[in-house]
Amino acid sequence: SLRWLGFPDDDMRIVVLQDTNLRIPHAVLAVAAQDDIMILDNQIQEVVSHRDIVHYAPVYSINEQHWWIHIPAR
């Protein structure tokens, strides 16, 4: 649906992360939009900015062309 709406593939990534509250792995869709990264998450009813989610620790991201390892900030 996001592709149909015009979002480029390069602006969308699946992010595999650790939910630090529940202590379980989880995955979300991150979409770059308007100088922000919006998170689509089946555990949250709204689309939210990545800045508003503090209990997720990203591990790696993928899209159709690339993958990225996330290194924790110290």
The CA-atom distances, in angstroms, between 57 and each of 3, 4, 51 are 27, 30, 12
Report pTM.
0.89
What whole-number distance in Å separates Cα of residue 6 and Cα of residue 73? Answer: 33
Q: What count of Cα atoms within 13 Å lies in the side-chain half-sphere of residue 25? A: 5
Residues 7-52 pLDDT 10s: 999 999 999 999 999 999 999 999 999 899 999 999 999 999 999 9
